[in-house]
Structure 1
């Protein structure tokens, strides 16, 4: 793919733009951007990454793919505005939460469509992405889309319906981890450490724990038990989590996010 267009210019679009340019998947001038009305945002991305702001409709005929990155509530309107401008060969990569492939083809025609749920860690080449394809996507296009996502992290292929769960877990996952870090920093300062010290300790702890899960053949509960000595400090902390229904909170978090994704699909 030599020319692509982002329709929408939010944080996820920026994460992919930054990641792809950093990994030299695209040159800045091969990436076009547009959105509904926020010209200041477009100019900011242009100044920061050197990407091109879409100036006229003639560019549409040259595009290999468009990336749908607008807010889900604006998706149908945006697709209706561009549907007659796209070339027959132009493929679609959607990063929209909840918007099904059927809705995309209803508005953009029977063309190759891939739905992907990445996350903002694509910025540093560490996204966890899942992707689903319609039956119009060729083997070559499928491989190209997979390579695009592999350039900014890891990617797995799933059934489209599973993307609701992916959205709730890894798509929204960075926000949950940042929220957890906020809590660590707050309580860390309450028990006598400065914020920078807490940040250093906990970011390394999170990174080390993630690497242990990747490298160790043991299940998480076995690794947890190895850290939890009977009558010790870790056991006291785990008991507090159980007392405050930590598992129930996580369950509610994921199920509510997954349900919201399905609501977006229906609407």
Structure 2
């Protein structure tokens, strides 16, 4: 475990689902906060045991979480976010920072339902479960620089963090929110291709997943454009260019681009409704 941060405060989760668990585990493991500074509540005894297993404090109600926290993370399903915030409105105050990871819920709605203006909205994604999240933050009008630094440290504990205007959040959802599913399909297709070419299933899947991981790591660590890295492995009249030619015939790049745009459009429709 990393050395504990000197900036200790109380962090509460309204909603104790998988994303809240991933964030809480990452924060505790990295030393950003001691587990005893984290609290949540849930009706399910099983969820109690999960959070208690790494030292999180379990309270009885969401109101108690708000009362006993400096930063309150709204980590409920989007369809119940309005009612949850309306119920908690009497307990919230400007002394507390509200952080929302509820997909598609805009800052103006969060402000209206909660009565809060000290808000930060964050869009993480499912690789948070393995400490490789891509998270994007949008800073509300009354959130301070200290608030921004604290929230960034929380989400850096589960991956990488960017800051962007809220107008980009639908596209963020279409790319990094839905993107893991596109990559899972690509890994499955690579493995199936390996099987079609004669490889045993286990070997094909292992090679496919490690190849995707390695390629992503090269992009992240070298700083080179993906096209430049692609060219480096593509020899004249070689095997790779033969495969790329087939991908181009199938509009591989255009299809992925269209998937991101379609997911962005759907996210915009859902957030407006």
Q: TM-score, normalised by structure 2?
A: 0.87
When the two chains are superposed, the root-mean-square deviation of aligned CA atoms in Å is 2.2
The yes-or-no answer on 1:28 pairing with 2:29 is no
Task: Give the match's secondary structure for 2:105.
Answer: coil
Structure 1 unaligned segments of length 5 or more: list them.
none
Deviations along 1:42-62, one digit per CA (max 9) or x if unpaired, are 234235433233314344322
Cα separation, 2, equivalents of 1:54 and 1:47: 11
Shift of 1:21: 1.6
Cα distance per residue 1:127-153 (max 9 Å; x no partner): 221111111001211211122222322
Higher relative contact order (CA 8 A, sep 6+): 1
| Cross-structure match for 2:3 | none
Report if aligned partners of 1:9, 1:69 keep a CA contact under 8 Å in 2. yes
Which aligned pairs between 1:230-245 and structure 2 lie closer than 5 A?
230-245=236-251
For structure 2, the residue ranges without an aligned partner over 5 or more in a row are 1-7
Secondary structure of 2:172's aligned partner: helix
Deviates more, 1:192-201 or 1:65-74: 192-201
Q: In structure 2, which of residues 253, 266, 270 is the aligned counterpart of residue 247 of structure 1?
A: 253
**Paired residues for 1:117-196 under 5 Å:** 117-196=123-202
1:19 aligns with 2:22: no
Listed one character per residue, the Cα deviations across residues 100-145 of structure 1 (whole Å, up to 9, x for unaligned) are 0000000111331111112233334322211111110012112111
8 A Cα contact 1:60 1:87, kept in partner: no
Q: Is the 8 A contact 1:98 1:263 kept in 2?
A: no
Q: Does the CA-based 8 Å contact 1:90-1:111 persist in structure 2? A: no
Q: Is the 8 A contact 1:185 1:198 kept in 2?
A: yes
The answer as to whether partners of 1:3 and 1:65 remain within 8 angstroms in 2 is yes
Distance change (3 Å), C-alpha of 1:250 and 1:265? same
